[in-house]
Chains A and B, each alone.
Chain A
Amino acid sequence: MTNENTALNTKINSGRLNSHEDLNALRQQIIDKHDPTKLEVLVCHGTGCIANGSMEVSETFKKICETSGIDVKIKPNIKTTGCQGFCSRGPLVLINPQGIFYQRVKPKDVEEIIQKTIINNEPVERLLYKDPKTGEPIKTENEIPFYNLQERIVLHNIGKIDPTDINDKIAAGGYQALAKALTTMTPKDVVTEITKSGLRGRGGAGFPTGRKWQGALKAVDKKGGPVYVVVNGDEGDPGAFMDCAIMEGDPHAVLEGLILGAYALGSNNGYLYIRAEYPLAVKHLEMAMAQARELGLLGENILNSGFSFDARINRGAGAFVCGESTALFTSIEGKAGTPRPKYVRSVEEGLWGRPTVLNNVETWANVPLIIDKGADWYSKLGVLNNTGTKVFCLVGKVNNVGLVEVPMGTPLSKIVEDIGGGVPNGKPFKAVQTGGPSGGCIPYKLKDLAVDFDSLTKAGAMMGSGAMIVMDDRDCVVDVALYFLRFLEEESCGKCIPCRLGLSRMKEILDTFSHGKGSEKDIDDLISLAKAIQDGALCALGTSAPNPCLTTIKFFKEEYLAHINEQRCPAGVCKDLITYSIDPDACTGCGSCARHCPQNCISGEKKKVHVIDTQNCIRCGICMDTCKFDAVQVN
């Protein structure tokens, strides 16, 4: 990812920064260099947009601007950014300073954008977002409900800055909090400020960050240093990419938070543990660390304050359990990442047996905001005991898939229906799974539930890291519970018996339900086994594993009973309980289903209604996928 303006920025001679004044001077220099009359083209290079071809879009912008003889004065700065958030509309292009928002931009559209918007200052109407209710085009990002109903503070810079260029971050106010802390605050002040803000860990359990830091300080008092600070970037929930987006889109925010934490705790060594599947996050953080070192913001004697700190990246190797604190430490130590019992807390005996503070990516990214703007400002966001905002990944059967940041305590319906635009088929959502495999399934009837740590836990779900998976009436809760159990059984490290054997047995019982077998007593057994696992498992992977199953039983028991007593899957998902047929009124006889059927069990003459031989059908669903006329039905 290289940018036009990187070349320009490298001309800014900064060298090592030795004070807050040096940082401010550099910031002013960068801002002064920026020509305010120049337009900026921001092309989203988040994973979703890249998968949708946004790299070709940014390349085309660069190529046309280089070769078309466009006037130097109006030649825009072309930037590639982290995830802009509205993933289902990608590839996204934002034109600043007007804030014109273009969606689903293809390379062939670039020429027109340059001609109309860059040269003649007119919008390209067909690429604008249309209000789903009125059909009216909406010109700027700020007017789109998906964005203006959010409160983006952690995501504020993501999608606006070039994550590979520290100058862009410094111009946006990066490292101001660090400079402020190093020059005007004692380490104790920093801990007090974080404690006062009410910040709680964004990784899942919501433990108060300030209290964790105080615990580590007490341990250091008792046994002396060193103490370690660690970033948990092992985001493993399937269907969650918030931390990935933060690390890719604003790596300096995470780094600045980590350095602040190190200063507060008197740590000189830190680690960033990043999931194996996030190579771009690793790359951007490596670049960020190298650039910060060069400016004297990381390493020896930071900003000439006498405080030294450096950090190293550990890439994960593909184990979900390594998101658990003690397993993560074991993995950093170079071993198989299995957790250990928690009667000794990690703040006392963590990495290498030393006091250690491990916080999640989003938690660290909140730290500079709190130090910069103050705990009072922060604690006004959100609700009592659940301050600040939370970033969610809104995915599944919802119109507006993407990254969403809202104050804690926002009602579920606002997130799914107002920001998310509801379910594609227009019906109310059936349930929302929060917190991934460790979370729970919240039914539509609880749509007004406040989304914060305490309310979700009370409902039997869990905040988790922030995945929010929307389900509609075509999703079967038994199948979903089974999916998560299969996932967790595979990811269980096998060290403790409740998790290793308990999850397998839970899966077996659920599996019988999906085949229409089992009895109501099995549901009771399932619940009692789940309780045993919650009580007995060694780590949070095990203790939270029964949540999806328990909440689906709690809220959707009738659906379980339909499987067991009537051998019926109301959502039409469980293979043994459904049959496929072809609607004679809708079938055009195109023959597509018959050609694709792996069993060759669909027959019919050309242009005549086709029929499925249900005896030989393996219910793979391919006919339904391939039919363009929605003629294949599930019964």
Chain B
Amino acid sequence: MNSQVEVIDEILECYPEKPEYLIFLLQDIQSAYGYISPESMQAVSDYAGVPITQVYSVATFYQSFRLEPKGEHELRVCLGTACYLKGGQRIVEELERKLNIKAGETTEDMIYTLDTVNCVGACALSPVMMVDDKYETNLTAGKVNKILKNIETE
């Protein structure tokens, strides 16, 4: 496996050395590593020719960027309007209680990251959450427990 430095270099080389590609670079680094480390932020800053403060500003402005590693499984509960009206918030609260973390946090054992999202476009099946890339639909508290159990026995 290539070292992180090599992979970051590969990503950098895909784009011209211009400030306008800053977001592209951060997106690609995040999809390779799941988060943006201080080292990669520095590398992007050097390459795109923007101050590190601006890289940090962009990385913290946009919600899709993470500055910390995420857990093995990502639970993203939809809080779009349709899901909210049908009890999405209750699902978030139930998961917060079960995992003992708040939305936006990762469990200490690095197994789960809990997040909320604004609409995943599956409003007909609300409330919905995404477990990694899989949709879990028409959720109830009972269903949430089963989903967690299934992940644990995998």
List the interface of chain A (C-beta within 8 A of B).
47-48, 50-52, 87-88, 90, 236-241, 244-245, 276-278, 314-320, 331-337, 393, 395-397, 401-402, 433, 436, 467, 469, 471, 475, 480, 483, 487, 493, 592, 596, 598, 620-622, 625-626
Stretch at the interface among B6-14, B67-75, B90-98, B105-113: B90-98
A177 to chain B, nearest CB (A): 28
The answer to whether A483 and B124 have CB atoms under 8 Å apart is no
Of the candidates A318, A401, A596, the one whose C-beta lies within 8 Å of that of B63 is A318
* The 10 nearest A-B residue pairs measured at CB: A317-B62, A318-B63, A87-B124, A51-B135, A318-B64, A238-B80, A239-B81, A336-B61, A241-B121, A395-B123
Most interface-central of B22, B80, B121, B137 (chain A CB within 10 A): B121
DSSP majority for the B interface? helix
The answer to whether B123 and A393 have CB atoms under 8 Å apart is yes
Query: Assuming the A-B contacts A238-B118, A317-B27, A336-B61, are A48 and B123 also in contact, with contact meaning beta carbons closer than 8 angstroms in the complex?
Result: yes
Complex Cα distance, B20 from A596, in Å, reads 51
How many residue pairs link A and B with beta carbons under 8 A? The number is: 148
List B contacts of A51 (CB < 8 A). Answer: 120, 122, 125, 128, 135, 137
A494: nearest chain-B partner, CB-CB: B61
Complex Cα distance, B23 from A602, in Å, reads 51
List B contacts of A278 (CB < 8 A). Answer: 121
The answer to whether A52 and B137 have CB atoms under 8 Å apart is yes
B16 to chain A, nearest CB (A): 11
Most interface-central of A52, A395, A397 (chain B CB within 10 A): A395
The answer to whether A317 and B124 have CB atoms under 8 Å apart is no
The answer to whether A47 and B61 have CB atoms under 8 Å apart is no
Complex Cα distance, B117 from A52, in Å, reads 19
Most interface-central of B93, B137, B141 (chain A CB within 10 A): B141
List A contacts of B54 (CB < 8 A). Answer: 335
Of the candidates B27, B62, B82, B97, the one whose C-beta lies within 8 Å of that of A598 is B97
List A contacts of B22 (CB < 8 A). Answer: 334-335
List A contacts of B58 (CB < 8 A). Answer: 317, 334-336
List B contacts of A397 (CB < 8 A). Answer: 85
The answer to whether B142 and A334 have CB atoms under 8 Å apart is no
Complex Cα distance, B135 from A277, in Å, reads 14
The answer to whether A240 and B62 have CB atoms under 8 Å apart is no
The answer to whether A621 and B87 have CB atoms under 8 Å apart is yes
Of the candidates B79, B120, B140, B145, the one whose C-beta lies within 8 Å of that of A47 is B120
List the interface of chain B (C-beta within 8 A of A).
18-24, 26-27, 48, 50, 54, 57-58, 61-65, 79-82, 84-85, 87, 90, 93-94, 97, 117-126, 128, 135, 137, 140-142, 145
The answer to whether B122 and A239 have CB atoms under 8 Å apart is no
B133 to chain A, nearest CB (A): 10
A188 to chain B, nearest CB (A): 32
Most interface-central of A244, A245, A336 (chain B CB within 10 A): A336
The answer to whether B125 and A52 have CB atoms under 8 Å apart is yes
The answer to whether A471 and B23 have CB atoms under 8 Å apart is no
The answer to whether B121 and A47 have CB atoms under 8 Å apart is yes
List A contacts of B93 (CB < 8 A). Answer: 620
The answer to whether B81 and A395 have CB atoms under 8 Å apart is yes
Query: Assuming the A-B contacts A395-B124, A622-B141, A626-B140, are A317 and B23 also in contact, with contact meaning beta carbons closer than 8 angstroms in the complex?
Result: yes
List A contacts of B121 (CB < 8 A). Answer: 47-48, 241, 244-245, 277-278
The answer to whether A318 and B62 have CB atoms under 8 Å apart is yes
B43 to chain A, nearest CB (A): 16
Of the candidates A48, A336, A493, the one whose C-beta lies within 8 Å of that of B124 is A48
Most interface-central of B18, B80, B118 (chain A CB within 10 A): B118
A599: nearest chain-B partner, CB-CB: B97
Complex Cα distance, B61 from A598, in Å, reads 36
Query: Assuming the A-B contacts A48-B123, A87-B124, are A622 and B94 also in contact, with contact meaning beta carbons closer than 8 angstroms in the complex?
Result: yes
List B contacts of A237 (CB < 8 A). Answer: 119
B30: nearest chain-A partner, CB-CB: A317
Complex Cα distance, B2 from A194, in Å, reads 54
The answer to whether B79 and A238 have CB atoms under 8 Å apart is yes
A592: nearest chain-B partner, CB-CB: B142
The answer to whether B90 and A620 have CB atoms under 8 Å apart is yes
The answer to whether B90 and A621 have CB atoms under 8 Å apart is yes
A161 to chain B, nearest CB (A): 20
A238: nearest chain-B partner, CB-CB: B80
The answer to whether B90 and A320 have CB atoms under 8 Å apart is no
The answer to whether A622 and B90 have CB atoms under 8 Å apart is yes
Known: A48-B121, A51-B120, A238-B80. 14 other contacts (CB 8 A): A47-B120, A51-B135, A88-B124, A244-B121, A317-B23, A317-B27, A319-B61, A319-B63, A320-B118, A334-B50, A337-B61, A469-B81, A469-B82, A483-B81
The answer to whether B81 and A277 have CB atoms under 8 Å apart is no
Of the candidates B20, B97, B120, B137, the one whose C-beta lies within 8 Å of that of A334 is B20
